[in-house]
Structure formats: C-alpha cells, structure tokens
Amino acid sequence: MRSLIRPSGPPAVGGHSRVLFRLAQCVPFVIILLALGIELSPAHALITGPLLAAMPALAALTMGPKGPLSAAAGAFAVTVTTATLHHSWGGQVYSNLISLVVVSAASVTMSSAVRTRRQSELNQVRRVAEAAQRVLLRPVPPRLGPVQMASKYLAAETGAQIGGDLYEAVHTRYGVRMIVGDVRGKGLPAVRLAAAVLGAFREAAHYEEDLAEVVSHCAAALERERAALRAVDRAEEDNLTEDFVTALVAQVSNAFVVQVVNRGHPPPLVLREGKVEALHPASPMPPLGLEEFITLPPAEADSYPFAPGDRLLLHTDGVIEARSPGGEFFPLPQTTESVHPCQPAEFLEHLHQELIRHTHGYLADDAAMLLVERINEAGESTLHSPRTI
C-alpha cells in the first residue's frame, strides 16, 4: 500500500501523472518560444506583449520562485529583442515591460509565501507522522533472547513516514516472535487495520503457546476492526470487504529451528553459509481477512532448521516487486548472497542502498525488512567481523 502521509507541494507521483506534471512546467517557456517565433515571422504585427507578461504567473503555478524569475527573464529578452529588431519602441512596449515587472514581482512573492506555508505544513505533518510511527512501528531492539536483529522501513513517497507495511518483534516465554505484514488498502482505514493486527499480535504472542493461534487472534482483530469501520461509514463497506492483510509470523526459540505461519505473504529467506533459500509454506494459506471466501484447513506452523549463524530475512512485497527503469524486479536473493558478513543493521543498510540503486531512487510501494540472526549458546555471533558499507 502507498503511504498515508505524503509531502505537501507538488505531488510525488509516477507514470503518466509525473510526465503530465513535467509538461505543465514547460508550458510557460513553450509559449515564450512561440511568441518569439511569431515576432520573427511575417505575422509579427500580432501583439504578444500582454501574453508574455502573464508567463511568470503561469510558471508560479507549478514551480518555485526560480520558475517565475526564469519565465520573466525569457519574456523580457523576447520583448526587448523584438522591439529593437522591429524598431517598435514606444508606449505599448514600455507598458508591456512594466506589466511584466509587476507580474513577476507578485509571482515571486506569492510563490515564496506558498512555499514557506507548504514547508511549515509538511514539517507539522512529519511531526505527527513520526509520533504515530513510534506507536505503530517501533524499532526492534538489536538483541532479543537467542537472536540479533534489525529492521528497516522505506516509504514510497519523499517525506512519508507511515504506510501499509507493518512489523514487530517481541520476546516471550515461548521464544522470540515476529510478524511482518502488508495491508491491502489505503488511507486512515488501512492504518487502523494495521494497528489492529499489530495490537492483537503484541497481546496474543505472550499467552498463546501455539503460533497458529496467535495468527488467529490477528485475523479476529482484523475482522472486528473492519466491522467497526463499516458501522462508522457505510460508504466504505465495499472497499473494506476487499481489504486484507498478508502476514507472516515466525518464532525462534532455544531449539535450533524457526517456526513460520504464512498467510499469503512473500516467503522469508534464510541465508546459510552464503546461500539463500526461500521458506515456502507446505500448505499455502490466504491472507488475513479472506477467510470467508476460502475453506481453511487446520492451521499449523511450518518448522525449518535455524542454526547459529543462520539469518532470516522477513520482508514485504515492496522489496521484491521494486523495479528498475527497465522493468526488472529487484533480485533480492542474489543481492542477499552478495552481502559480506556484517552486523544486521549494516546488512539491511546495504540492501537498502542496493534497492535504491536498482530503482534509481524511486520506490513504487512501501518496503519493510526485518533481519534476524541466530546466535550461539554463548550469546555470540558466529559470523566474521562486520564490513564497513
């Protein structure tokens, strides 16, 4: 899901919208060149001065203060050049130049004021988003029981802080339990659904011995929240019926295994001795929220070997579905294998840099990663010294 919090100002969008926005920024300068062509053609009797005077104001609609100044400079140059070429200096030309100066000054002033106001609004939104993020997506501790770990959250939009991805890790009497999920939905309802799933996980993880039961509590909490949202706004009922959450819950205990319950989520990766293996579920299960459409078999956790030195990478589809400008998906398994031994936080930072390099800095969706390393009984990592990224 795309981020809820977006930056103020020009929309950070992709595809055709981004192209249209760039074209809109070029319009004033295209008109200036068109006016120059008219002035240099046999049709130079047409009066273009009033049209040129309006270009700084047009540039101010889609650009910052530099836009009106650039448009004003271009319009001024065209006016002076053509007036000199055609020997048409007179009251009309001086009137056009005065209008150009007045409109330019007003456009720059208004553009600066709007920019300042938008920056103030963006700063306020960021403060609210950061406070909400600390509640909804808390950073995981570097050490929990028999594991070391780190988390990384990448928002799709510049300035964004909260999206539809979720993660958490808690230390319980049954072991270290983790969840990674992705809400299919948008806006405040999607954030409420994510909060409901996380709240249920944080509670049930401590008193439910069966990992599958923890997931059942998350599904029940999701359905209760959807029912509450329908009661508040009937207009959202159809949208909420389609909303669901892909989720993966894992557990690492003192035994050298990792238990996983996967509800429609991308399989996690295990990195062992430099090789990556995807942990596909033995029996695929639907995402949370789609139980009414599919008859579910009894849920059971899958178990996989997880020895000291092994690393488990939980991630959302925003990572594996990230594309390069040429359309190639991000090669997460190969990239994971290429990272030299280093601490979990450095490991995720390396993956982050590779992801940004692959996409040329543009993420189409939010992305979350949680890296877990099994340490030995002495509480030490069996990997080599960390590498500086």
Choose among 272, 287, 274: nearest CA to 374.
Answer: 272
Choose among 175, 137, 183, 179: nearest CA to 268.
Answer: 179
Distance, in Å, from the CA atom of 261 to the CA atom of 245, rounded to the nearest integer, reads 14
* pLDDT number for residue 254: 87
Distance, in Å, from the CA atom of 260 to the CA atom of 249, rounded to the nearest integer, reads 6
Rounded mean pLDDT, 173-202: 88
Distance, in Å, from the CA atom of 380 to the CA atom of 360, rounded to the nearest integer, reads 37
The number of residues making up the chain comes to 389
Mark residue 327 as left, alpha or beta (left: phi above 0; alpha: psi -120 to 50; beta: remaining).
left
Q: What is the pLDDT of residues 240-292, one digit of tens each?
A: 556 789 999 999 998 899 999 999 999 999 999 889 999 999 888 889 988 77
Q: What is the pLDDT of residues 3-41, one digit of tens each?
A: 444 443 444 444 566 777 778 788 888 888 888 888 788
Quick check: 244 and 288 in contact, CB under 8 A? yes
Six token digits for residue 189: 């309802």
Q: What is the pLDDT of residues 300-345, one digit of tens each?
A: 899 999 999 999 999 999 899 999 988 899 999 999 999 888 899 9
**What are the φ/ψ torsions at residue 366 (nearest 5 degrees)?**
-65, 155
Quick check: 374 and 351 in contact, CB under 8 A? no
Quick check: 86 and 45 in contact, CB under 8 A? no
Distance, in Å, from the CA atom of 53 to the CA atom of 41, rounded to the nearest integer, reads 20
* pLDDT number for residue 50: 78
Mark residue 121 as left, alpha or beta (left: phi above 0; alpha: psi -120 to 50; beta: remaining).
alpha
Q: What is the pLDDT of residues 286-309, one digit of tens each?
A: 899 887 777 666 678 999 999 999
Q: What is the DSSP string of 113-152?
A: HHHHHHHHHHHHHHHHHHHHHHHHSPPPPSEETTEEEEEE
Lowest mean pLDDT among 30-34, 45-49, 127-131: 127-131
**Residue 238 banded pLDDT, cuts 50, 70, 90:** low
Could you give the percent of the chain with pLDDT greater than 90?
Answer: 36
* pLDDT number for residue 187: 65
Choose among 226, 313, 224: nearest CA to 268.
Answer: 313
Can you identify the CATH homologous superfamily of domain 137-374? PPM-type phosphatase domain (3.60.40.10)
Residue extent(s) of CATH 3.60.40.10 domains in the chain = 137-374
Distance, in Å, from the CA atom of 352 to the CA atom of 332, rounded to the nearest integer, reads 11
HSE of 384 in the Cβ direction (CA atoms, 13 Å)? 7
* pLDDT number for residue 4: 43
Choose among 289, 213, 282: nearest CA to 247.
Answer: 289
Residue 100's identity, in one-letter code, is L
